[in-house]
Amino acid sequence: MRAIVCTLFVLGLLWDSVRAENTISSLRAAAEAWEGELPCGKWDCECAFKRQRGCCCANPELQEAEDQIFVRIMDLSMRMSQLGESILEVIGGIRVAFTASLSPRINCFGPFTRNSPIPYDVITLNQGSGYNPALGLFTAPRSGLYSFSFSVYSKVDMAGERMYYKVQLMRNGEVVASTWEDNREDSEDSSSQTVLLSLEQGGQVYVELLSGRQLCGNVEGLNTFSGSFVYPTLA
């Protein structure tokens, strides 16, 4: 991101420089092409465009115009530099990301009589401290676009035993994505989902297991929940 901002800054300077040179070149061409009367009798272009003051005719006006262009270029350069620093401060100063998984000591999670948030308690990353492992809940520290992923794994002990689960990603209490399995043919199964979600500051996201379902045979790193901040938006 810093390289992009620097590149844009340099391109801006080059563009302003080109515009200034084109303006001066146009003035000089117009002066050389002038066929009307001159108060001093002649136009000394070589003198006028060598930044020498006191030359004949319109040199003071041309010098003033050139000085104004230079001041304008410096002002634009300063504004672009400030803008670049602001962009880097906004984007570079925000680091929100987390990755958590269900502990392997939890062999079976569920079934329950109500939908239950999954407490992914093995945390490998929690920048910004937005994820709460006790609740399995992520709270957005600021408004913006976020990316979330979750993976689900389950298996049964015996052939013909029913595999029955449904897991869903929740945003502020509403379902935004889900994955499920209900069969007696598979001895194990896995699936995953990835979504982009817009959140206001304080918005909450979690993964829950539906009532009456269960996840069994948990293996470390196969039942996971992760998320990261993409870019900010206005609240």
Burial class of 175 by CB neighbour count within 10 A (0 to 12, 13 to 18, 19+): exposed
| pLDDT greater than 50 at residue 168 | yes
Spatial neighbors of 25 by CB under 8 A, at least 6 apart, are none
% of the chain beyond a pLDDT of 70: 67
Which amino acid is residue 150, in one-letter code? F
Pair type for strands 144-155 and 137-139: unpaired
Nearest to 5 by CA among 90, 74, 124: 90
Look up the pTM and report it.
Answer: 0.61
What sign results for the dihedral spanned by CA atoms 79, 85, 88, 94? negative
Res 7: pLDDT: 44
- Alpha-helical runs (H) found in the chain: 2-33, 45-48, 59-92
Q: What is the pLDDT of residue 152?
A: 94
**Domain range list for the chain:** 2-92, 97-232
pLDDT digits (tens, 9 = 90+) for 194-206: 999 999 999 999 9
Which whole number is the average pLDDT over 25-45?
60
Specify the fold of 97-232. Answer: Jelly Rolls (2.60.120)
pLDDT in tens, 142-156: 899 999 999 999 988
